[in-house]
Structure 1
Protein backbone atom coordinates (compact mmCIF):
# COMPACT_ATOMS: atom_id res chain seq x y z
CA UNK A 1 0.00 0.00 0.00
CA UNK A 2 1.34 3.41 -1.02
CA UNK A 3 0.32 7.03 -0.58
CA UNK A 4 -0.62 9.07 -3.67
CA UNK A 5 -1.63 12.69 -3.90
CA UNK A 6 -4.77 13.43 -5.87
CA UNK A 7 -5.84 16.42 -7.81
CA UNK A 8 -7.20 18.18 -4.76
CA UNK A 9 -3.99 17.68 -2.76
CA UNK A 10 -5.51 15.03 -0.56
CA UNK A 11 -3.32 12.10 0.26
CA UNK A 12 -4.94 8.72 -0.12
CA UNK A 13 -3.78 5.21 0.56
CA UNK A 14 -3.65 3.11 -2.66
CA UNK A 15 -3.41 -0.64 -2.63
CA UNK A 16 -0.30 -1.87 -4.35
CA UNK A 17 -2.14 -4.91 -5.75
CA UNK A 18 -5.54 -3.57 -6.76
CA UNK A 19 -4.71 0.07 -7.26
CA UNK A 20 -7.87 1.13 -5.44
CA UNK A 21 -7.84 4.00 -2.98
CA UNK A 22 -8.68 3.25 0.63
CA UNK A 23 -10.03 5.60 3.30
CA UNK A 24 -7.82 6.03 6.42
CA UNK A 25 -9.11 4.22 9.51
CA UNK A 26 -10.82 6.42 12.09
CA UNK A 27 -8.80 6.43 15.36
CA UNK A 28 -10.44 4.90 18.44
CA UNK A 29 -12.00 7.41 20.81
CA UNK A 30 -10.51 6.97 24.25
CA UNK A 31 -12.59 7.54 27.35
CA UNK A 32 -9.83 9.64 28.89
CA UNK A 33 -10.02 12.07 25.98
CA UNK A 34 -13.65 12.96 26.61
CA UNK A 35 -13.67 12.92 30.43
CA UNK A 36 -12.17 16.43 30.70
CA UNK A 37 -14.96 17.69 28.46
CA UNK A 38 -17.50 16.25 30.92
CA UNK A 39 -15.93 18.13 33.83
CA UNK A 40 -13.83 15.32 35.29
CA UNK A 41 -11.66 15.33 37.35
CA UNK A 42 -12.56 18.91 38.31
CA UNK A 43 -16.18 18.02 38.95
CA UNK A 44 -15.26 14.87 40.90
CA UNK A 45 -12.72 16.65 43.07
CA UNK A 46 -15.17 19.47 43.73
CA UNK A 47 -17.88 17.08 44.91
CA UNK A 48 -15.37 15.10 47.01
CA UNK A 49 -14.14 18.25 48.76
CA UNK A 50 -17.68 19.36 49.52
CA UNK A 51 -18.46 16.01 51.18
CA UNK A 52 -15.26 15.23 53.13
CA UNK A 53 -13.57 18.59 53.63
CA UNK A 54 -15.71 20.22 56.38
CA UNK A 55 -16.02 16.99 58.36
CA UNK A 56 -12.26 16.46 58.32
CA UNK A 57 -11.63 20.05 59.39
CA UNK A 58 -14.15 19.84 62.24
CA UNK A 59 -12.50 16.68 63.56
CA UNK A 60 -9.03 18.26 63.49
CA UNK A 61 -10.35 21.38 65.21
CA UNK A 62 -11.95 19.28 67.96
CA UNK A 63 -8.69 17.39 68.58
CA UNK A 64 -6.72 20.64 68.76
CA UNK A 65 -9.18 22.26 71.19
CA UNK A 66 -9.26 19.13 73.34
CA UNK A 67 -5.45 18.95 73.61
CA UNK A 68 -5.22 22.66 74.42
CA UNK A 69 -7.89 22.32 77.13
CA UNK A 70 -6.19 19.24 78.62
CA UNK A 71 -2.76 20.88 78.75
CA UNK A 72 -4.25 24.06 80.22
CA UNK A 73 -6.03 22.03 82.91
CA UNK A 74 -2.82 20.31 84.02
CA UNK A 75 -0.85 23.57 84.00
CA UNK A 76 -3.48 25.41 86.06
CA UNK A 77 -3.92 22.53 88.52
CA UNK A 78 -0.18 22.11 88.97
CA UNK A 79 0.27 25.84 89.51
CA UNK A 80 -2.44 25.93 92.19
CA UNK A 81 -0.96 22.94 94.03
CA UNK A 82 2.53 24.45 93.85
CA UNK A 83 1.34 27.83 95.18
CA UNK A 84 -0.61 26.19 98.03
CA UNK A 85 2.42 24.06 98.87
CA UNK A 86 4.64 27.15 99.03
CA UNK A 87 2.17 29.04 101.22
CA UNK A 88 1.49 26.21 103.67
CA UNK A 89 5.00 24.70 103.62
CA UNK A 90 4.06 21.29 105.08
CA UNK A 91 6.68 19.58 107.24
CA UNK A 92 6.80 15.90 108.11
CA UNK A 93 5.97 14.93 111.72
CA UNK A 94 8.63 14.10 114.28
CA UNK A 95 8.78 10.81 116.21
CA UNK A 96 10.61 10.25 119.49
CA UNK A 97 10.78 7.12 121.65
CA UNK A 98 10.21 8.31 125.20
CA UNK A 99 10.31 4.98 126.99
CA UNK A 100 10.69 1.25 126.47
CA UNK A 101 9.88 -1.28 129.16
CA UNK A 102 10.51 -5.00 128.69
CA UNK A 103 8.85 -7.52 131.00
CA UNK A 104 8.68 -11.32 131.20
CA UNK A 105 11.57 -11.68 128.78
CA UNK A 106 12.94 -15.19 128.36
CA UNK A 107 14.86 -17.35 125.91
CA UNK A 108 13.47 -20.84 125.34
CA UNK A 109 15.50 -23.81 124.00
CA UNK A 110 18.01 -21.50 122.31
CA UNK A 111 15.66 -20.79 119.38
CA UNK A 112 12.64 -18.90 120.73
CA UNK A 113 12.08 -15.74 122.75
CA UNK A 114 9.12 -14.51 124.76
CA UNK A 115 8.34 -11.18 126.35
CA UNK A 116 6.33 -7.97 126.42
CA UNK A 117 7.65 -4.64 125.11
CA UNK A 118 5.75 -1.52 126.16
CA UNK A 119 6.76 1.49 124.09
CA UNK A 120 5.70 5.13 124.31
CA UNK A 121 6.13 7.28 121.20
CA UNK A 122 5.89 11.06 121.19
CA UNK A 123 4.53 12.28 117.84
CA UNK A 124 4.92 16.01 117.12
CA UNK A 125 3.31 18.04 114.34
CA UNK A 126 5.65 21.01 113.64
CA UNK A 127 3.30 22.69 111.13
CA UNK A 128 1.70 26.04 111.94
CA UNK A 129 -1.09 25.84 109.35
CA UNK A 130 -1.60 22.16 108.64
CA UNK A 131 -3.23 19.34 110.55
CA UNK A 132 -2.24 15.70 110.09
CA UNK A 133 -4.46 12.63 109.98
CA UNK A 134 -2.90 9.24 110.68
CA UNK A 135 -4.80 6.31 109.22
CA UNK A 136 -3.44 2.78 109.37
CA UNK A 137 -0.29 2.54 111.51
CA UNK A 138 1.66 -0.71 111.59
CA UNK A 139 4.59 -1.04 114.00
CA UNK A 140 7.13 -3.85 113.96
CA UNK A 141 9.72 -4.93 116.53
CA UNK A 142 13.13 -6.20 115.41
CA UNK A 143 16.28 -7.46 117.01
CA UNK A 144 18.86 -6.26 114.49
CA UNK A 145 17.37 -7.59 111.22
CA UNK A 146 15.40 -10.40 112.90
CA UNK A 147 11.63 -9.96 113.00
CA UNK A 148 10.17 -10.57 116.45
CA UNK A 149 6.56 -9.39 116.37
CA UNK A 150 4.22 -6.69 115.04
CA UNK A 151 1.19 -4.75 116.22
CA UNK A 152 -1.18 -2.04 114.98
CA UNK A 153 -1.62 1.47 116.40
CA UNK A 154 -5.12 3.01 116.30
CA UNK A 155 -5.58 5.96 113.88
CA UNK A 156 -5.75 9.51 115.23
CA UNK A 157 -5.82 13.16 114.15
CA UNK A 158 -3.33 15.78 115.18
CA UNK A 159 -3.78 19.55 115.27
CA UNK A 160 -1.23 22.21 114.41
CA UNK A 161 1.81 22.52 116.67
CA UNK A 162 0.56 19.54 118.65
CA UNK A 163 2.32 16.69 120.46
CA UNK A 164 0.60 13.35 120.95
CA UNK A 165 1.78 10.48 123.15
CA UNK A 166 1.14 7.11 121.50
CA UNK A 167 1.43 3.93 123.55
CA UNK A 168 1.94 0.61 121.84
CA UNK A 169 2.64 -2.85 123.19
CA UNK A 170 4.42 -5.79 121.59
CA UNK A 171 3.67 -9.19 123.05
CA UNK A 172 5.27 -12.39 121.82
CA UNK A 173 5.26 -15.98 123.00
CA UNK A 174 7.93 -18.37 121.74
CA UNK A 175 8.84 -16.36 118.65
CA UNK A 176 11.44 -18.06 116.49
CA UNK A 177 14.78 -16.28 116.11
CA UNK A 178 17.68 -17.49 113.99
CA UNK A 179 20.36 -19.28 115.99
CA UNK A 180 23.11 -16.86 114.95
CA UNK A 181 21.02 -13.84 116.01
CA UNK A 182 20.06 -15.49 119.29
CA UNK A 183 23.70 -16.25 120.08
CA UNK A 184 24.50 -12.56 119.55
CA UNK A 185 21.58 -11.58 121.78
CA UNK A 186 22.85 -13.84 124.58
CA UNK A 187 26.33 -12.34 124.21
CA UNK A 188 24.91 -8.83 124.58
CA UNK A 189 22.80 -9.90 127.55
CA UNK A 190 26.00 -11.05 129.21
CA UNK A 191 27.28 -7.48 128.81
CA UNK A 192 24.11 -6.06 130.40
CA UNK A 193 22.31 -4.35 127.49
CA UNK A 194 20.39 -5.45 124.37
CA UNK A 195 19.41 -3.09 121.50
CA UNK A 196 16.10 -3.39 119.66
CA UNK A 197 14.60 -1.57 116.68
CA UNK A 198 11.08 -0.39 115.87
CA UNK A 199 9.65 0.42 112.46
CA UNK A 200 6.37 2.29 111.97
CA UNK A 201 4.54 2.53 108.64
CA UNK A 202 1.61 4.95 108.57
CA UNK A 203 -0.64 6.44 105.90
CA UNK A 204 -0.89 10.17 106.63
CA UNK A 205 -2.74 13.09 105.06
CA UNK A 206 -2.00 16.80 105.48
CA UNK A 207 -4.96 19.18 105.50
CA UNK A 208 -5.60 22.86 106.00
CA UNK A 209 -9.14 24.21 105.70
CA UNK A 210 -10.61 23.08 102.38
CA UNK A 211 -7.26 21.88 101.07
CA UNK A 212 -6.50 18.16 101.37
CA UNK A 213 -3.27 16.55 100.25
CA UNK A 214 -3.32 13.00 98.98
CA UNK A 215 -2.44 10.22 101.42
CA UNK A 216 1.24 9.45 101.68
CA UNK A 217 3.15 6.58 103.28
CA UNK A 218 5.17 7.69 106.30
CA UNK A 219 8.18 5.53 107.20
CA UNK A 220 9.63 5.76 110.71
CA UNK A 221 12.74 3.96 111.96
CA UNK A 222 13.63 4.04 115.66
CA UNK A 223 17.11 2.60 116.06
CA UNK A 224 19.32 1.61 118.97
CA UNK A 225 16.59 1.18 121.58
CA UNK A 226 18.97 -0.26 124.15
CA UNK A 227 17.43 -1.77 127.27
CA UNK A 228 19.22 -2.88 130.42
CA UNK A 229 18.56 -6.57 129.95
CA UNK A 230 21.17 -8.81 131.57
CA UNK A 231 21.51 -12.51 132.21
CA UNK A 232 21.00 -12.03 135.94
CA UNK A 233 17.92 -9.82 135.43
CA UNK A 234 15.98 -11.38 132.60
CA UNK A 235 12.47 -10.37 133.64
CA UNK A 236 12.34 -6.56 133.51
CA UNK A 237 14.34 -3.88 131.68
CA UNK A 238 14.03 -0.19 130.77
CA UNK A 239 15.41 2.08 128.06
CA UNK A 240 19.00 3.08 128.72
CA UNK A 241 20.37 6.51 127.83
CA UNK A 242 17.17 8.54 127.62
CA UNK A 243 14.90 9.35 124.68
CA UNK A 244 15.69 8.44 121.08
CA UNK A 245 14.82 10.48 118.01
CA UNK A 246 13.55 8.45 115.08
CA UNK A 247 14.28 8.82 111.38
CA UNK A 248 11.20 9.86 109.43
CA UNK A 249 10.76 9.67 105.66
CA UNK A 250 7.79 10.24 103.42
Structure 2
Protein backbone atom coordinates (compact mmCIF):
# COMPACT_ATOMS: atom_id res chain seq x y z
CA UNK A 1 0.00 0.00 0.00
CA UNK A 2 2.76 2.39 0.75
CA UNK A 3 4.49 1.58 -2.53
CA UNK A 4 1.28 2.29 -4.33
CA UNK A 5 0.86 5.51 -2.49
CA UNK A 6 4.46 6.63 -3.03
CA UNK A 7 4.65 5.61 -6.69
CA UNK A 8 4.33 8.00 -9.64
CA UNK A 9 0.96 9.52 -10.29
CA UNK A 10 -0.29 9.10 -13.84
CA UNK A 11 -2.68 11.60 -15.48
CA UNK A 12 -5.16 9.27 -17.12
CA UNK A 13 -6.86 12.19 -18.95
CA UNK A 14 -3.68 13.09 -20.86
CA UNK A 15 -3.15 9.47 -21.74
CA UNK A 16 -6.69 9.16 -23.05
CA UNK A 17 -6.33 12.31 -25.08
CA UNK A 18 -3.11 11.04 -26.61
CA UNK A 19 -4.65 7.74 -27.53
CA UNK A 20 -8.02 9.09 -28.63
CA UNK A 21 -7.54 12.69 -29.93
CA UNK A 22 -10.67 14.83 -29.81
CA UNK A 23 -11.94 16.56 -32.96
CA UNK A 24 -11.21 20.29 -33.32
CA UNK A 25 -14.90 21.12 -33.32
CA UNK A 26 -15.08 20.15 -29.69
CA UNK A 27 -12.27 22.52 -28.79
CA UNK A 28 -13.66 25.43 -30.89
CA UNK A 29 -17.21 25.77 -29.63
CA UNK A 30 -17.68 29.44 -30.89
CA UNK A 31 -19.76 29.75 -34.14
CA UNK A 32 -17.91 31.29 -37.14
CA UNK A 33 -18.32 35.06 -37.53
CA UNK A 34 -20.24 36.27 -40.63
CA UNK A 35 -18.23 37.67 -43.57
CA UNK A 36 -18.62 41.47 -43.57
CA UNK A 37 -17.05 41.95 -47.03
CA UNK A 38 -20.47 41.90 -48.84
CA UNK A 39 -22.17 44.28 -46.45
CA UNK A 40 -23.18 47.65 -47.95
CA UNK A 41 -23.01 46.42 -51.58
CA UNK A 42 -26.17 47.00 -53.70
CA UNK A 43 -27.95 43.93 -54.91
CA UNK A 44 -28.63 43.12 -58.57
CA UNK A 45 -32.22 44.43 -58.24
CA UNK A 46 -30.96 47.90 -57.46
CA UNK A 47 -29.13 47.97 -60.79
CA UNK A 48 -32.17 46.57 -62.59
CA UNK A 49 -34.44 49.27 -61.13
CA UNK A 50 -31.93 51.99 -61.96
CA UNK A 51 -31.63 50.91 -65.60
CA UNK A 52 -35.42 50.61 -65.88
CA UNK A 53 -35.87 54.13 -64.51
CA UNK A 54 -33.37 55.56 -67.00
CA UNK A 55 -35.02 53.79 -69.94
CA UNK A 56 -38.46 54.96 -68.84
CA UNK A 57 -37.23 58.55 -68.59
CA UNK A 58 -35.78 58.47 -72.09
CA UNK A 59 -38.97 56.92 -73.48
CA UNK A 60 -41.11 59.59 -71.80
CA UNK A 61 -38.94 62.43 -73.13
CA UNK A 62 -38.99 60.97 -76.66
CA UNK A 63 -42.79 60.59 -76.54
CA UNK A 64 -43.19 64.16 -75.28
CA UNK A 65 -41.15 65.64 -78.14
CA UNK A 66 -42.92 63.40 -80.67
CA UNK A 67 -46.35 64.65 -79.57
CA UNK A 68 -45.07 68.23 -79.51
CA UNK A 69 -43.70 67.91 -83.04
CA UNK A 70 -46.82 66.13 -84.28
CA UNK A 71 -49.22 68.91 -83.29
CA UNK A 72 -46.93 71.89 -83.95
CA UNK A 73 -48.05 74.14 -86.80
CA UNK A 74 -45.17 74.31 -89.29
CA UNK A 75 -44.78 76.66 -92.20
CA UNK A 76 -44.88 75.06 -95.64
CA UNK A 77 -41.78 74.51 -97.76
CA UNK A 78 -41.34 75.97 -101.25
CA UNK A 79 -38.69 75.20 -103.85
CA UNK A 80 -38.27 76.93 -107.21
CA UNK A 81 -37.53 74.19 -109.75
CA UNK A 82 -37.26 76.09 -113.03
CA UNK A 83 -37.44 79.59 -114.48
CA UNK A 84 -37.69 80.04 -118.26
CA UNK A 85 -37.86 83.42 -120.00
CA UNK A 86 -38.38 84.58 -123.58
CA UNK A 87 -39.21 87.74 -125.51
CA UNK A 88 -37.66 89.83 -122.78
CA UNK A 89 -37.49 93.47 -123.82
CA UNK A 90 -37.27 96.87 -122.18
CA UNK A 91 -38.44 99.78 -124.29
CA UNK A 92 -36.90 103.23 -124.27
CA UNK A 93 -39.69 104.33 -121.99
CA UNK A 94 -38.62 101.69 -119.45
CA UNK A 95 -41.60 99.45 -120.09
CA UNK A 96 -40.93 95.74 -119.55
CA UNK A 97 -42.30 92.93 -121.70
CA UNK A 98 -41.64 89.21 -121.22
CA UNK A 99 -43.02 85.71 -121.47
CA UNK A 100 -41.97 83.58 -118.51
CA UNK A 101 -42.81 80.34 -116.76
CA UNK A 102 -41.87 79.50 -113.18
CA UNK A 103 -42.34 76.01 -111.74
CA UNK A 104 -42.51 75.46 -107.98
CA UNK A 105 -42.85 72.58 -105.55
CA UNK A 106 -44.91 73.23 -102.42
CA UNK A 107 -44.73 70.78 -99.50
CA UNK A 108 -46.80 70.53 -96.35
CA UNK A 109 -44.53 69.33 -93.49
CA UNK A 110 -47.35 69.04 -90.94
CA UNK A 111 -48.44 65.68 -89.55
CA UNK A 112 -51.80 66.85 -88.19
CA UNK A 113 -52.97 69.72 -90.41
CA UNK A 114 -53.90 70.29 -94.03
CA UNK A 115 -53.28 73.66 -95.70
CA UNK A 116 -55.59 75.66 -97.97
CA UNK A 117 -54.18 78.35 -100.28
CA UNK A 118 -56.29 81.08 -101.89
CA UNK A 119 -55.89 84.54 -103.50
CA UNK A 120 -52.48 83.68 -104.91
CA UNK A 121 -50.39 86.33 -106.66
CA UNK A 122 -46.88 85.70 -107.99
CA UNK A 123 -44.40 88.31 -109.19
CA UNK A 124 -41.09 88.55 -111.01
CA UNK A 125 -39.03 91.39 -109.59
CA UNK A 126 -35.71 93.06 -110.09
CA UNK A 127 -34.29 94.32 -106.79
CA UNK A 128 -37.80 94.52 -105.26
CA UNK A 129 -39.35 96.31 -108.23
CA UNK A 130 -42.07 94.35 -109.95
CA UNK A 131 -41.62 93.50 -113.63
CA UNK A 132 -44.60 91.20 -114.14
CA UNK A 133 -47.25 89.35 -112.13
CA UNK A 134 -49.40 86.25 -112.57
CA UNK A 135 -52.21 84.52 -110.71
CA UNK A 136 -52.23 80.89 -109.57
CA UNK A 137 -55.46 78.95 -108.92
CA UNK A 138 -56.30 78.02 -105.31
CA UNK A 139 -55.13 74.65 -104.07
CA UNK A 140 -54.96 72.50 -100.94
CA UNK A 141 -52.21 70.36 -99.47
CA UNK A 142 -53.01 67.34 -97.35
CA UNK A 143 -50.85 66.28 -94.43
CA UNK A 144 -47.26 65.46 -95.44
CA UNK A 145 -48.10 65.94 -99.12
CA UNK A 146 -46.50 68.04 -101.86
CA UNK A 147 -47.61 69.38 -105.22
CA UNK A 148 -46.20 71.13 -108.30
CA UNK A 149 -47.27 74.65 -109.25
CA UNK A 150 -46.83 76.63 -112.45
CA UNK A 151 -46.98 80.42 -112.78
CA UNK A 152 -47.35 81.72 -116.34
CA UNK A 153 -46.28 85.31 -117.07
CA UNK A 154 -47.24 87.09 -120.26
CA UNK A 155 -46.21 90.71 -119.83
CA UNK A 156 -47.47 93.07 -122.52
CA UNK A 157 -45.20 95.99 -121.79
CA UNK A 158 -47.70 97.77 -119.59
CA UNK A 159 -45.50 97.79 -116.46
CA UNK A 160 -43.24 100.82 -116.29
CA UNK A 161 -40.07 100.62 -114.23
CA UNK A 162 -37.67 103.23 -112.94
CA UNK A 163 -34.72 104.18 -115.08
CA UNK A 164 -32.25 102.67 -112.59
CA UNK A 165 -33.98 99.31 -113.05
CA UNK A 166 -33.61 99.41 -116.83
CA UNK A 167 -30.00 100.55 -116.54
CA UNK A 168 -29.21 97.80 -114.03
CA UNK A 169 -30.71 95.06 -116.20
CA UNK A 170 -28.87 96.26 -119.30
CA UNK A 171 -25.61 96.41 -117.32
CA UNK A 172 -25.97 92.82 -116.07
CA UNK A 173 -26.79 91.52 -119.55
CA UNK A 174 -23.77 93.31 -120.96
CA UNK A 175 -21.50 91.97 -118.22
CA UNK A 176 -22.29 88.23 -118.24
CA UNK A 177 -25.41 87.67 -120.32
CA UNK A 178 -27.67 86.98 -117.34
CA UNK A 179 -29.90 88.87 -114.90
CA UNK A 180 -30.54 88.25 -111.21
CA UNK A 181 -34.32 88.20 -110.68
CA UNK A 182 -36.41 87.71 -107.55
CA UNK A 183 -39.62 85.68 -107.43
CA UNK A 184 -42.46 86.36 -104.98
CA UNK A 185 -45.42 84.15 -104.07
CA UNK A 186 -48.07 85.73 -101.84
CA UNK A 187 -51.37 84.13 -100.80
CA UNK A 188 -53.81 83.66 -97.98
CA UNK A 189 -53.36 80.40 -96.12
CA UNK A 190 -55.76 78.63 -93.78
CA UNK A 191 -55.03 75.73 -91.46
CA UNK A 192 -57.51 72.90 -91.82
CA UNK A 193 -58.15 72.90 -88.06
CA UNK A 194 -59.11 76.61 -88.10
CA UNK A 195 -60.86 77.71 -91.28
CA UNK A 196 -62.42 80.76 -89.64
CA UNK A 197 -59.23 82.79 -89.97
CA UNK A 198 -56.56 82.93 -92.65
CA UNK A 199 -53.00 84.15 -92.47
CA UNK A 200 -51.06 85.83 -95.23
CA UNK A 201 -48.19 83.77 -96.53
CA UNK A 202 -45.26 85.29 -98.40
CA UNK A 203 -42.63 83.25 -100.21
CA UNK A 204 -39.58 84.78 -101.86
CA UNK A 205 -36.77 83.32 -103.91
CA UNK A 206 -33.88 85.75 -104.34
CA UNK A 207 -30.96 86.06 -106.72
CA UNK A 208 -32.23 83.81 -109.49
CA UNK A 209 -29.57 84.04 -112.18
CA UNK A 210 -31.37 83.68 -115.53
CA UNK A 211 -29.54 83.59 -118.85
CA UNK A 212 -30.79 86.24 -121.28
CA UNK A 213 -30.09 85.22 -124.89
CA UNK A 214 -29.01 87.86 -127.37
CA UNK A 215 -31.84 86.72 -129.60
CA UNK A 216 -34.90 88.03 -127.82
CA UNK A 217 -37.12 85.20 -129.07
CA UNK A 218 -34.87 82.48 -127.65
CA UNK A 219 -35.57 81.08 -124.19
CA UNK A 220 -33.40 81.95 -121.23
CA UNK A 221 -33.23 79.57 -118.30
CA UNK A 222 -32.31 79.48 -114.65
CA UNK A 223 -28.68 78.63 -114.07
CA UNK A 224 -27.68 76.25 -111.31
CA UNK A 225 -29.75 73.90 -109.23
CA UNK A 226 -33.34 74.35 -107.96
CA UNK A 227 -33.46 76.89 -105.18
CA UNK A 228 -35.09 76.66 -101.77
CA UNK A 229 -37.30 79.67 -101.08
CA UNK A 230 -37.80 81.56 -97.84
CA UNK A 231 -41.23 81.46 -96.22
CA UNK A 232 -42.77 83.96 -93.82
CA UNK A 233 -46.03 85.44 -92.62
CA UNK A 234 -46.99 89.04 -92.01
CA UNK A 235 -49.70 91.63 -92.26
CA UNK A 236 -47.59 93.72 -94.66
CA UNK A 237 -48.47 91.34 -97.50
CA UNK A 238 -52.22 91.73 -96.99
CA UNK A 239 -52.10 95.21 -98.49
CA UNK A 240 -50.36 93.73 -101.50
CA UNK A 241 -53.13 91.15 -101.99
CA UNK A 242 -55.80 93.82 -101.56
CA UNK A 243 -54.48 95.50 -104.73
CA UNK A 244 -55.58 92.42 -106.71
CA UNK A 245 -58.45 90.98 -104.63
CA UNK A 246 -61.25 92.98 -103.07
Question: What TM-score, normalized by structure 1, do the two folds share?
Answer: 0.61
Q: C-alpha displacement at 1:88, in angstroms?
A: 1.4
Distance 1:203 1:177 in 2: 27
* 1:89 correspondence with 2:72: yes
Match of 1:117, SS?
A: strand
Q: C-alpha displacement at 1:106, in angstroms?
A: 1.8
Are the structure 2 counterparts of residues 139 and 85 from structure 1 closer, same or farther at C-alpha, using a change threshold of 3 Å?
Answer: farther
Q: What whole-Å deviation, never above 9, does each CA across 1:98-143 have from its counterpart, x for those lacking one?
A: 0000011122226222111100011000111211111111112211
Q: C-alpha displacement at 1:176, in angstroms?
A: 1.7
Q: C-alpha displacement at 1:95, in angstroms?
A: 0.8
Q: Is the 8 A contact 2:70 2:112 kept in 1?
A: no
Return the structure number with greater strand share.
1
Map 1:140-155; keep pairs closer than 5 Å: 140-155=123-138
Q: 2:88 aligns with which of 91, 105, 123?
A: 105
Q: Is the 8 A contact 2:80 2:226 kept in 1?
A: yes
Distance 1:101 1:181 in 2: 20
Backbone CA RMSD of aligned residues: 2.0
Distance 2:201 2:75 in 1: 9
**Equivalent in the alignment of 1:185:** 169
**Equivalent in the alignment of 2:198:** 215
Gaps of 5+ in 2: 1-66, 234-246
Q: Structure 1 segments of 4 or more deviating over 4 A?
A: 84-87
Q: C-alpha displacement at 1:214, in angstroms?
A: 2.8
**Equivalent in the alignment of 1:5:** none
**Equivalent in the alignment of 1:224:** 207
**Equivalent in the alignment of 2:15:** none
Question: What TM-score, normalized by structure 2, do the two folds share?
Answer: 0.62
* 1:159 correspondence with 2:179: no
Gaps of 5+ in 1: 1-83
Q: Is the 8 A contact 1:132 1:206 kept in 2?
A: yes
* 1:176 correspondence with 2:166: no
Distance 1:227 1:199 in 2: 16
How many equivalent pairs are there?
Answer: 164
